[in-house]
Structure 1
Amino acid sequence: METLSKQKTVYKFGNGAAEGNGSMKELLGGKGANLEEMSLLGIPVPPGFTITTEMCTVYQNQGREMTLARIRDEVLDGIRHIERIMGTCFGSPANPCLVSVRSGARVSMPGMMDTVLNIGLNDEAVLGLAAKSGKERFAWDSYRRLLQMYGDVVMNIKQFTENGHDPFEKALAARKQAKGYSSDQELTVADLQELTATYKELIKQYTGEPFPTDPHEQLWNAIIAVFESWYTERAVVYRQLHDIPDTWGTAVNVQAMVFGNMGKHSASGVAFTRDAATGEDVFNGEYLIDAQGEDVVAGIRTPLQITLEGSRKWAQAAGVSEAERQEKYPSLEEYMPEVYAHLDEVQQKLEDHFADMQDLEFTIEEGRLWLLQTRTGKRTGKAMVKIGMDMYREGRIDRDTLLQRMEPEKLNELLHPVFDRQALAQATLLTKGLPASPGAASGQIVFFAEDAQAWQAAGKPVIMVRIETAADDLKGMAVANGILTARGGMTSHAAVVARGMGKCCVAGAGAIKIDYEQRTMEVNGQVLHEGDWLSLNGSTGEVFAGQIATVEAELDDDFNELMELADKAATMYVRTNADTP
């Protein structure tokens, strides 16, 4: 048996090879194990390495210095591995190797732990990146993003601010307002240079410490910050809600950066191999041109659809003409047909390999596709049953696997009431968003997680209304009857977490204007206040004023057939045990 000091702490992957594989989720976390597996499958994955979950436990029990001492040599060897494949040098001003540092527990905890992108940039490296890429705006945009993420995740700037507000977002919004910009894409090189200077001043002002310019110091601090994010309140709450043991810990994944923010031929996105809300066998997802991955899942910009079919459905629901859709909101299938064809091929390969619906994250850098993650996709109860039954009928999974995949809590979702059709016909429609997670929900409007908890504890049903949700909103989402967001898409944090919880959710309802200070939401000239009643149809994306009566749900053929299979399996189990002496 290996001694603790000789245990392997880092597993490398990339370039079609890997030291681990997909069966090693306990040691490498779900993300790390699947990155290793994708590399072995020949799928384009940025090279990198995974620090094991065991080191998270070491950090908790023995602290920072002991942890770094244990992993230092293997991490530096992992960095050399990335440098060799990418042809870059970590810490070089002229040819900088930039990396991302991400969490990865053995089961998916979407948005609950931390990520830092663009590690390795500083005042010299940003000039080298600009010269090497020939894209000055991209380089300064990447530096701005590093400062914001590092200041937030590693230096925890919000703990020093009033009411936990984000000074970076405030500075960004002020800059855009002063210049009359409506989106981040309008920021010029000069704007981004001034913002980076402002961000550095904010870090020093609030934390008392300067932003570290040494890439190695950035790397070690980011690794420790990801380990620490396992113990944040939001991560603890999520684990309690989903019965995930605290002792599991998180792995840390360090990968070469690939850039979706290099201009109009670059993009980032999230995709599902089947519909996570309904279970239909339809490839779907969302992407943003000239963006990094966090922009998509954070829900800060409402993204575009991946498929032409999905784009047309979205446009019809949003009241956008076909001509306007083609010009302003093209699908990836239309915008980058060759990249789309490659992504479609990869998604089918991954679903076939894992024999389950997959949730993918990808980046397109200058027309080249990279996969950043694949995981078993969160789904609603309805989707769980349909996907399971379809795969069983197709012969892709056996009966025992089908039944093992059925979660009792999610089956219970199918019994939740639905809106009464007569009452629905008389209801006042306020607006329509994206049907992010199905179900029917009525409740009183609240805007903050703490209020949602207090009102629910007092016996009041609530609908949580946010511009977009973040991980810190989890406690409020957990007790709300439904969730409504003004921004974000089907793959945003709100949508993914709501589906995992079985909560009704309508996302990206762009007509809604929310004023947190006044505690009001305005839609098409009508103002609703905190405490007013609201009803959501998560299956259609419709938002109604007032409370709507509900009736018992009707169960479909898939559910009935599943119950017959479960009865047969239970009968066989009883007979087998009865025949055993």
Structure 2
Amino acid sequence: MTTQYVYRFGGGVSDGGKGDKNLLGGKGANLAEMASIGLPVPPGFTISTEMCARYYEEGESFPQSVRDEAANGIAHIEAITNKKFGDPADPLLVSVRSGARISMPGMMDTVLNLGLNDETVEGLAKTSGDARFAWDSYRRFIQMYSDVVLELDHGAFEEALEIAKEDKGYNLDTELTADDWQALVTQYKAIVVELWDGKPFPQDVHEQLWGAIGAVFGSWQCERAKVYRRLNDIPADWGTAVNVQAMVFGNMGDTSATGVAFTRDPSKGDNAYYGEFLINAQGEDVVAGIRTPQYLTKSAREAAGAKPASMEEALPTVYGELAKVFDLLETHYRDMQDIEFTVQQGKLWMLQTRSGKRTAKAALKIAVDMANEGLITQEEAVARVDPAALDQLLHPTLDPKAPRDVIAKGLPASPGAASGLVVFDADTAEKRAEMGDAVILVRTETSPEDIHGMHAAKGILTARGGMTSHAAVVARGMGRPCVSGVGSLAIDAKAKVFRVSGREVREGDIITIDGATGEVMIGAVPTVQPELAGDFGTLMGWADKVRRLKVRANAETPLDCKTARIFGAEGVGLCRTEHMFFDAARITAVRQMILAEDEKGRRVALDKLLPEQRADFTEIFEIMAGLPVTIRLLDPPLHEFLPHAEEDFAEVASATGIGVEALKRRAAELHEFNPMLGHRGCRLGVTYPEIYEMQARAIFEAACDVAAKSGKAPIPEVMVPLVATRRELELMKAVIDKAAKAVFAERGTTLEYLVGTMIELPRAALKAGEIAEVGEFFSFGTNDLTQTTLGVSRDDAGRFLTTYVDKGIYPKDPFVSLDVEGVGELIELAAERGRKTRSGIKLGICGEHGGDPASIAFCEKTGLDYVSASPYRVPIARLAAAQAALAAKK
């Protein structure tokens, strides 16, 4: 059976029926569907997406069968328009446009007015009665075709046009006459000969057609399309369709027009028509800004204080027809539509409809309004809003109207925007912040020791590190904007200066960072604060009704916990205790503990830390009273807590009474070549069990205090990190249980608690059945599990992961969206084996993937109990969990 590649539409014909977007692309499917419901669509045909892959496989050639199908498509257009393609007397002109499954605005190529040549331009002039229109159309076609198909320098044609206007003393293109355009066409053809190796501009209309079809298919692989696909997670193998359609002209006098409209306001979401149009113009004039467009409605014109008549006033009859089409399309598609239309001498034509792009604020309002109007269900409203887009609502954003001087671009590691004074170390950040200054902490990379400065800063900028680097993870948890991995940044921390793009920025200079785009700017750019309006709460309530997965927060400060509760967190899924140890008031005691020669010395220091830890946990338990709180015992290697700079050694020596040389010797002993796989996690607890004993006692004392005070007992879940064997967890559980027993005996009470582990090593996943004999819960630490499974450092991977994604080695950055095939299989295996041993074992993830919608969908499919995300990503996780539950129903 022969494969069909060409599908006709218009004139009562719709080969594609209601339109399969996978086959016909978004544009082609919607054209077919509009034609099938009787809307005025210029006739045409679609060459399917299947031809896109074949086009490349067969060396950019089209089989005769496809050429024959396309010839039938041209005949279909000719029959309806009563014009002939290439006819010198009354020519049919067509447009050739792309159309992927998902809208990729401006990313691929288009050719308009195809079919014009030295003969047909004369016929067009006669039949239209407007020679100026005909020659203007011909010069537009030569310019566009030369750019898109022949790949000639677009600037050469623009320069010729500008010179022609200067010679005539014109300011606008609309001032050129028919003779002017005809003279320019002659110049354009000469430019083609000069730039195209002496070959003339193609006069054969069929050669023009296939050249354009090939170029539009080819634009699927252009660089901007590849980048757009990567940024929007669009698979490269989807391909684009090509749509060939009869031209209709909005530039045939004062009863003609062209425009773009939305059935609702895409910025605010208001239920009002929104759009622009131009009389006597083609669509590209609206887009190119050659002329200032006019408002669609009278009310919009009056609100803006504009004088030129709206379409409602200038073309009232056609506007009335258009308004009916708007209502029909929105009801038919049950979504806000983005529409392109043309009016040719009083006749309305629909060129395109698609679900309109919208801001997060508008998406929420439109979804909630449509559900309340009965156009869609509440569940459909929940499915309509992109969870990732909620970031726009939860963080300050830059004022879109404000000017900006961009000097560098890195990774958009944590959303939001901030301006402040540049500082190069955490201590200075804290001091300046205490003086009331807004600061941006600029570091080559951050470490846990920078935590106080990161907290004090309004934003964080690093030269190294990826989307899940320390800076990125901590910044997201704090709700601080962060731009990481700005490889072009040359930082000289000693001189307190950084250089980039030939610019020099010193400490105290003001910069702005945009964590949503990765841009770094000189000077202060005004920000707009988020507004969490009623629609947000309404949609979140609907989402919570349908989701199965619980959503917790990664939080270790009272502010984190309060923020998480505001955003709907149902507990804490990861409280990292190491950040508490870097507090200036207790770092000396921590260092004394590390530097102690024996257990006795360590216990003396740990006794000083106990009340501090208890106070930390008390604050968290008070905020999370009655909810589960997963606390990870000390995880990083001890050397991270020791000083590095010469002046720091002197300061510690003075505080501890230990000589500088002895300090340096101990630091050298603790130094590790590969600390990520070194003496950290439960290995610390096995070696120095008194550390975990102190932390466990602090947890249980705090829990008892809060239960007695509030009447609502928190549910501590004590998590042992980096377990690889059953025996490690068994030893640590004994330490924790012993501490619990002692505290409960002292307080005369008992509390519910769990002891479990973070699964972050492949061996732990494989031996989950044995580990579950001891562990009462598993929390998958997907950041480290990804590192240890792939053998890739997340802090260094930014140098090559983009290339890996571009080359299809990984579909997405595995530190941003879970590697389902590799890491995911280990999680599934661990979940299965853990449940087999302990049927009621609690399972969740607490890596950064807990806030990624695609990873959350995997967690739903795997049957995990909860996900844990940074506080500001909790709403994203709630909505994504609801959407995953709805998808699972289907």
- TM-score interval w.r.t. the shorter chain? 0.7 to 0.9
Aligned counterpart for 1:42 among listed residues 38, 43, 54: 38
Residue 74 of structure 1 aligns with an amino acid whose one-letter code is E
8 Å CA contact retained: 1:442, 1:533: no
- Per the TM alignment, residue 205 of structure 1 is displaced from its structure 2 partner at its CA by 1.1
Residue 171 (1) aligns with residue 167 (2): no
- Per the TM alignment, residue 33 of structure 1 is displaced from its structure 2 partner at its CA by 0.4
8 Å CA contact retained: 1:15, 1:47: yes
Judged with a 3 Å threshold, the aligned counterparts in structure 2 of structure 1 residues 300 and 455 are, in CA distance, closer, same or farther, namely farther
Judged with a 3 Å threshold, the aligned counterparts in structure 2 of structure 1 residues 141 and 380 are, in CA distance, closer, same or farther, namely same
Residue 207 of structure 1 aligns with an amino acid whose one-letter code is W
8 Å CA contact retained: 1:304, 1:331: yes
Aligned-partner SS, 1:230:
helix
| Cα distance in 1 between the residues matched to 2:160 and 2:513 | 35
Residue 123 (1) aligns with residue 118 (2): yes
Aligned-partner SS, 1:270:
strand
Aligned to 1:55: 51
8 Å CA contact retained: 2:19, 2:32: no
8 Å CA contact retained: 1:272, 1:359: yes
Aligned to 1:445: 405
Aligned to 1:223: 213
- Per the TM alignment, residue 442 of structure 1 is displaced from its structure 2 partner at its CA by 6.4
1:378-422 deviation line (CA, Å, top 9, x unaligned): 000001000000001111111221111111121111112158xxx
8 Å CA contact retained: 1:104, 1:251: yes
Aligned to 1:266: 256
8 Å CA contact retained: 2:266, 2:362: yes
Structure 1, gaps ≥5 residues long: 159-164, 420-438, 464-530, 537-544
Aligned to 2:357: 378
Aligned to 1:562: 539
Residue 75 of structure 1 aligns with an amino acid whose one-letter code is A
Aligned to 1:112: 107
Matches within 5 A, 1:341-490: 341-417=320-396, 444-446=404-406, 453=409
Judged with a 3 Å threshold, the aligned counterparts in structure 2 of structure 1 residues 24 and 418 are, in CA distance, closer, same or farther, namely closer
TM-score, scaled relative to structure 1: 0.74
| Cα distance in 2 between the residues matched to 1:36 and 1:77 | 17
8 Å CA contact retained: 1:113, 1:230: yes
1:138-173 deviation line (CA, Å, top 9, x unaligned): 111110110011011000112xxxxxx611111112
Residue 24 (1) aligns with residue 20 (2): yes
8 Å CA contact retained: 1:381, 1:414: yes
| Cα distance in 2 between the residues matched to 1:203 and 1:406 | 48
Aligned-partner SS, 2:85:
coil
Aligned to 2:283: 293
| Cα distance in 2 between the residues matched to 1:444 and 1:394 | 41
Judged with a 3 Å threshold, the aligned counterparts in structure 2 of structure 1 residues 264 and 77 are, in CA distance, closer, same or farther, namely same
8 Å CA contact retained: 1:305, 1:330: yes
Judged with a 3 Å threshold, the aligned counterparts in structure 2 of structure 1 residues 190 and 40 are, in CA distance, closer, same or farther, namely same
Residue 10 (1) aligns with residue 6 (2): yes
Structure 2, gaps ≥5 residues long: 420-508, 515-521, 552-859, 866-887
1:330-364 deviation line (CA, Å, top 9, x unaligned): 11111111011111111110001000000000111
8 Å CA contact retained: 2:24, 2:47: yes
- Per the TM alignment, residue 262 of structure 1 is displaced from its structure 2 partner at its CA by 1.1
| Cα distance in 1 between the residues matched to 2:11 and 2:365 | 36
8 Å CA contact retained: 1:535, 1:546: no
| Cα distance in 2 between the residues matched to 1:220 and 1:551 | 49
Matches within 5 A, 1:59-98: 59-65=55-61, 67-98=62-93
**Percentage of identical aligned residues:** 53
Aligned counterpart for 2:265 among listed residues 264, 272, 275: 275
Judged with a 3 Å threshold, the aligned counterparts in structure 2 of structure 1 residues 348 and 175 are, in CA distance, closer, same or farther, namely same
Aligned-partner SS, 2:340:
strand
Judged with a 3 Å threshold, the aligned counterparts in structure 2 of structure 1 residues 456 and 284 are, in CA distance, closer, same or farther, namely closer
Aligned to 1:302: 292
- Per the TM alignment, residue 290 of structure 1 is displaced from its structure 2 partner at its CA by 1.5
| Cα distance in 2 between the residues matched to 1:297 and 1:83 | 29
Aligned-partner SS, 2:349:
strand
Compare CA radii of gyration and give the structure with the larger one.
2
Judged with a 3 Å threshold, the aligned counterparts in structure 2 of structure 1 residues 345 and 244 are, in CA distance, closer, same or farther, namely same
Aligned-partner SS, 2:547:
helix
| Cα distance in 2 between the residues matched to 1:553 and 1:63 | 51
Judged with a 3 Å threshold, the aligned counterparts in structure 2 of structure 1 residues 237 and 455 are, in CA distance, closer, same or farther, namely closer
Judged with a 3 Å threshold, the aligned counterparts in structure 2 of structure 1 residues 72 and 288 are, in CA distance, closer, same or farther, namely same
Aligned to 2:575: none
Residue 204 (1) aligns with residue 199 (2): no
Aligned counterpart for 1:338 among listed residues 309, 313, 317: 317
Judged with a 3 Å threshold, the aligned counterparts in structure 2 of structure 1 residues 248 and 196 are, in CA distance, closer, same or farther, namely same
| Cα distance in 1 between the residues matched to 2:526 and 2:208 | 55
Residue 233 of structure 2 aligns with an amino acid whose one-letter code is D
Q: State how many pairs are aligned.
A: 456
| Cα distance in 1 between the residues matched to 2:549 and 2:224 | 43
Judged with a 3 Å threshold, the aligned counterparts in structure 2 of structure 1 residues 194 and 443 are, in CA distance, closer, same or farther, namely closer
| Cα distance in 2 between the residues matched to 1:572 and 1:169 | 57
| Cα distance in 2 between the residues matched to 1:276 and 1:362 | 18
Q: Relative contact order, CA 8 A, sep 6+: which one is greater? A: 1
Aligned-partner SS, 1:103:
strand
| Cα distance in 1 between the residues matched to 2:236 and 2:548 | 37
Aligned to 1:142: 137
RMSD: 2.9
8 Å CA contact retained: 2:24, 2:101: yes
| Cα distance in 1 between the residues matched to 2:228 and 2:289 | 20
